[in-house]
Amino acid sequence: MPASKSAQKAEGILFCEFNTRNGYHQTLTVWETKKHMIDYSASTLHLRVIKSMSKIGIGKVFGYETDSIPSWEDALTEWNNNGREF
The answer to whether 44 and 2 have CB atoms below 8 angstroms apart is no
Q: What is the pLDDT of residue 12?
A: 96
pTM summary value: 0.82
Q: Which class does domain 2-85 fall in?
A: alpha beta
CB atoms within 10 A of CB 41: 16
The answer to whether 18 and 1 have CB atoms below 8 angstroms apart is no
Q: What is the pLDDT of residue 1?
A: 66
**Per-residue confidence in pLDDT tens, the chain, 86 aa:** 677 888 899 999 999 999 998 888 899 999 999 999 999 999 988 888 778 877 777 778 899 888 899 999 999 999 999 999 87
The answer to whether 33 and 10 have CB atoms below 8 angstroms apart is no
13 Cβ contact list (under 8 Å, min separation 6): 7, 29, 30, 31, 32, 36, 40
